[in-house]
Amino acid sequence: MDGDCATGTAHTKLVDPFGRHVKYLRVSVTDRCDLRCQYCMAEDMTFLPKAELLTLEELDRVCSAFVHKGVKKIRLTGGEPLVRKDVLTLVRRLGRHLRSGELDELTLTTNGTQLTKYAKPLFDAGVRRINVSVDTLNAEKFHAITRRGDLDQVLAGIKAAKDAGLGIKINAVALKGDNEHEFDDLIRWCGDSGYDLTLIETMPMGEIDGDRTDQYLPLSLVRARLAEKWTLTDLDFNSGGPARYVRVEETGRKLGFITPLSHNFCESCNRVRLTCTGTLYMCLGQNDAADLRFPMRVSKDDELLEAAIDEAIGRKPKGHDFIIDRRHKGPAVSRHMSVTGG
Ligand code: SAM
Ligand code: SF4
């Protein structure tokens, strides 16, 4: 299928071998982070040398090639996207695709620590919604799970985002024994504050210090427990991401469940992920990847880059097969979530 971009050049649209249109690009703009969440990173992480990262201009160039090929939604993530130096320059540049109408949404997933500084400029650049990760409202537990985070700082950031006019969705990873009895508090807080909430199952990505079987909490169990207290109505709503949503009737807010382990969501997958070094992963749970940095760097025009993107989409696999049980304690893929971006 062909389409025309704003410049009038024909660009092949992105359809994978299973007929799924790729319309959603997640971009990890840095593998670095100011926190060390237990399920995401090891305490003592080795980060990439800065010289290996795509420049902001190169990130813009790859993202723009995807936009010309029909991608409608871009999510910046990481690591922590707001610790990448001059990240606002990238956000402002990508904002031009919102203004031209080629892109429907530019958004980001953040841990919230930098939001008091960035919320307003993000809104001004065209961002309208953000996801903020908060696993617990207990300050001590928050500090323990993130190994260094200050809950008050994050809550002040979320408040600044709300005041700036940004829509907010809270992400919480469901962790057995850590926050499993706090979902009622999170639902109540989100209801009172006007935020949606998504619960996420831990995914077996990258070596961490602990044992993942100790962390894994199936969301089917969480949902059954929540249904004893709250009235949950299934919704048809699809945010373009992998979550299944219900409405919590008592608060009127949406509650999402991302269940890569207990329910595989691959059949509707419209996403690919770009790392900060220019590697494209066609599936979060598989190791196959395509290098876009080389074809981009060898020529000034985008012909080779676009050909590499087409070739990669032609290899998008049908799905992943994450398993966490006593026999499969190691990671399903060796890279951390902070490399590919959550
Ligand atoms: N630093 C930002 C943040 O924390 O929101 C963005 C990157 S983070 C990798 C994106 C999301 O992935 C977060 O909501 C985080 O909780 C989630 N995440 C990280 N590691 C995960 C894992 N092993 N399983 C499930 N979710 C994970
Ligand atoms: Fe950092 Fe986000 Fe990973 Fe936590 S989940 S360590 S905030 S990248």
pLDDT (tens digit per residue) in 284-312: 778 889 999 999 999 999 999 999 999 99
- Percent of residues, the chain, with pLDDT higher than 70: 85
Rounded to the nearest angstrom, the distance between the alpha carbon of 89 and the centre of ligand 2 is 22
User: Which tokens in the block code for residue 59?
Assistant: 């990130």
What does DSSP assign to residue 74? E
Q: Which amino acid is at 23?
A: K
Name the residue at shortest CA distance from atom 8 of ligand 2: 79
**Cβ of 36 below 6 Å from ligand 2:** yes
SS3 per-residue string spanning 169-210: EEEEEEECCCCCCCHHHHHHHHHHHCCEEEEEECCCECCCCC
Is the separation of the CB atoms in 69 and 306 below 8 Å? yes
User: Which tokens in the block code for residue 27?
Assistant: 């971009």
Which pLDDT belongs to residue 322?
54
Give the pairing type, strands 73-77 and 279-281: unpaired
Is the separation of the CB atoms in 60 and 93 below 8 Å? yes
Is the separation of the CB atoms in 29 and 39 below 8 Å? no
Give the pairing type, strands 271-274 and 279-281: antiparallel
Is the separation of the CB atoms in 6 and 23 below 8 Å? no
What value does the mean pLDDT of the chain take?
A: 89
pLDDT (tens digit per residue) in 189-238: 999 999 999 999 887 766 667 766 678 898 999 999 999 999 999 998 77
Name the residue at shortest CA distance from atom 10 of ligand 1: 342
Rounded to the nearest angstrom, the distance between the alpha carbon of 265 and the centre of ligand 1 is 18
Domains annotated on the chain, with CATH = 24-340 (3.20.20.70)
User: Which tokens in the block code for residue 82?
Assistant: 């707001």
Name the residue at shortest CA distance from atom 4 of ligand 1: 111
Residue 318 CB partners (closer than 8 Å, separation 6+): 18, 266
Query: What gap in Å lies between CA 275 and CA 285, rounded to an integer?
Result: 14
Closest by Cα among 114, 120, 134, 107 to 162: 120
Q: Which of 38, 40, 114, 130 to mutate to test the pocket of ligand 2 (most atoms within 8 A of CB)?
A: 40
Q: Which atom of ligand 1 is nearest to the CA of 206?
A: 23
Please compute the mean of the pLDDT values over residues 174-187 and round it to a whole number: 95
State the distance between the two ends of the chain, measured CA to CA, in whole angstroms.
Answer: 30
Rounded to the nearest angstrom, the distance between the alpha carbon of 76 and the centre of ligand 2 is 13
Identify the residue with better confidence: 236 or 141. Answer: 141
What residue ranges line ligand 1, CB within 6 angstroms?
Answer: 33, 39-40, 77-78, 80, 109-111, 133, 171, 173, 200, 202-203, 205, 337-338, 342
Rounded to the nearest angstrom, the distance between the alpha carbon of 306 and the centre of ligand 2 is 31
Q: Which atom of ligand 1 is nearest to the CA of 35?
A: 1
Q: Which atom of ligand 2 is nearest to the CA of 36?
A: 6
Rounded to the nearest angstrom, the distance between the alpha carbon of 252 and the centre of ligand 1 is 26
Instruction: Report CA 97 to chain centroid distance, whole Å.
Output: 20
Which segment, 176-180, 191-195, 337-341, is predicted with the most confidence on average?
A: 191-195
Closest by Cα among 281, 294, 275 to 29: 275
Residue with tokens 């402002």: 92
Query: What gap in Å lies between CA 336 and CA 46, rounded to an integer?
Result: 11
Which pLDDT belongs to residue 336?
63
**Cβ of 338 below 6 Å from ligand 2:** yes
Query: What gap in Å lies between CA 324 and CA 38, rounded to an integer?
Result: 17
**Cβ of 41 below 6 Å from ligand 2:** yes
Query: What gap in Å lies between CA 339 and CA 342, rounded to an integer?
Result: 9
Name the residue at shortest CA distance from atom 19 of ligand 1: 40
Is the separation of the CB atoms in 33 and 338 below 8 Å? yes
